[in-house]
């Protein structure tokens, strides 16, 4: 006989993608937003979006853009019902994510996982998404892709050059995946938006420790013009 005092087990989390794409990419020095620059024959954002469309683990993908974005419709024209555009982008990346999470609340349960991914990381693959979900998909603190630091690290913070031990140092990538309710709470509670350099840092401020999952160099963020050639090189190689 079922014990009526015991609550029903919670359903397994589903996985949703959220791509903040309201930025202007000032450091790229391009005429328009860098996420729409052509890359290997397609807009950069289309490559980014495709990784989630290719993943059988991702239920749906949301793309947050500015209210007056005139490029996104062409990018998602062939996505059908697999992607939704949210025209609620804010002045900062953090604000865009927060607005997107609020807009998703009717479709995403509090315990469902949201994979936040930079629009300018076109080298993501379905295999990397699977690796992240397999390693951290049920972790209550979430997780993110990251790369171990392999080069010697120098610091000038003390006013002179010093070598910093690289043991235990990682370079954060995206996607960064968290329970939807946790991520929204962390972003809303962040006391200093300027101190939030990525979503994981907001979650860490709550005293939690997201899991680090080995990423891949192909998942680089396109920030400067020289990065375009590197990203195109990876896109022409077999996907990992």
**Domain range annotation of the chain:** 15-236
CA-wise closest residue to 119 among 64, 190, 40, 57:
64
Please name the residue ranges forming H helices in the chain.
44-54, 72-75, 93-104, 126-136, 180-189, 199-204, 225-236
The whole-chain average pLDDT of the chain stands at: 92
How far from 200 is each of 140, 160, 178, CA to CA, in Å?
13, 30, 9
Do residues 219 and 146 lie in contact, with contact meaning Cβ atoms separated by under 8 Å?
Answer: no
Is a pLDDT exceeding 60 seen at residue 193? Answer: yes
> Which pLDDT tens digit goes with each residue over 3-35?
555 555 678 999 999 999 997 654 454 567 889
Local confidence band at 85 (pLDDT 50, 70, 90 cut-offs): very high
pLDDT at residue 197 in the model: 86
pLDDT at residue 222 in the model: 95
Q: Which residues have C-beta within 8 Å of that of residue 152, sequence separation ≥ 6?
A: 163, 166
Mean pLDDT calculated for residue range 148-152: 96
Local confidence band at 146 (pLDDT 50, 70, 90 cut-offs): very high
Is a pLDDT exceeding 90 seen at residue 191? Answer: no
Phi and psi at residue 131, to the nearest 5°: -60, -45
Superfamily name and number for 15-236: Spore Coat Polysaccharide Biosynthesis Protein SpsA; Chain A (3.90.550.10)
Count CB atoms within 10 A of the CB of residue 111.
Answer: 15
Local confidence band at 239 (pLDDT 50, 70, 90 cut-offs): low
Residue 154, beta-bridge partner list:
163
Query: What is this structure's pTM?
Result: 0.91
Mean pLDDT calculated for residue range 98-112: 97
% of the chain beyond a pLDDT of 70:
92
Is a pLDDT exceeding 80 seen at residue 87? Answer: yes
Local confidence band at 1 (pLDDT 50, 70, 90 cut-offs): very low
């Amino acid at each position: 006989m079922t014990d009526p005092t015991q609550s029903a087990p919670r359903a397994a989390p589903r996985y949703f993608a959220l791509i903040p794409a309201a930025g202007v990419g000032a450091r790229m020095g391009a005429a328009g937003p860098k996420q729409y620059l052509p890359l290997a024959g397609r807009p950069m954002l289309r490559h980014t979006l495709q990784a989630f469309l290719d993943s059988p683990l991702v239920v749906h993908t949301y793309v947050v853009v500015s209210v007056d974005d005139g490029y996104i419709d062409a990018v998602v024209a062939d996505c059908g019902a697999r992607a939704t555009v949210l025209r609620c982008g804010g002045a900062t990346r953090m604000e865009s994510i927060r607005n997107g999470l609020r807009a998703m609340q009717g479709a995403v349960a509090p315990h469902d996982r949201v994979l936040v991914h930079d629009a300018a990381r076109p080298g993501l693959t379905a295999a990397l998404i699977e690796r992240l979900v397999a390693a951290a998909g049920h972790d209550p603190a979430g997780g993110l892709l990251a790369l171990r630091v392999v080069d010697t690290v120098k610091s000038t913070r003390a006013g002179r050059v010093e070598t910093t031990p690289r043991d235990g140092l990682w370079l954060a990538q995206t996607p960064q995946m968290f329970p939807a309710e946790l991520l929204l709470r962390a972003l809303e509670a962040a006391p200093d938006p300027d101190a939030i350099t990525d979503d994981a840092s907001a979650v860490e401020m709550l005293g939690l420790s997201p899991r680090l999952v080995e990423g891949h160099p192909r998942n680089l963020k396109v920030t400067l013009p020289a990065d375009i050639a590197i990203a195109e090189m990876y896109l022409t190689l077999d996907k990992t």
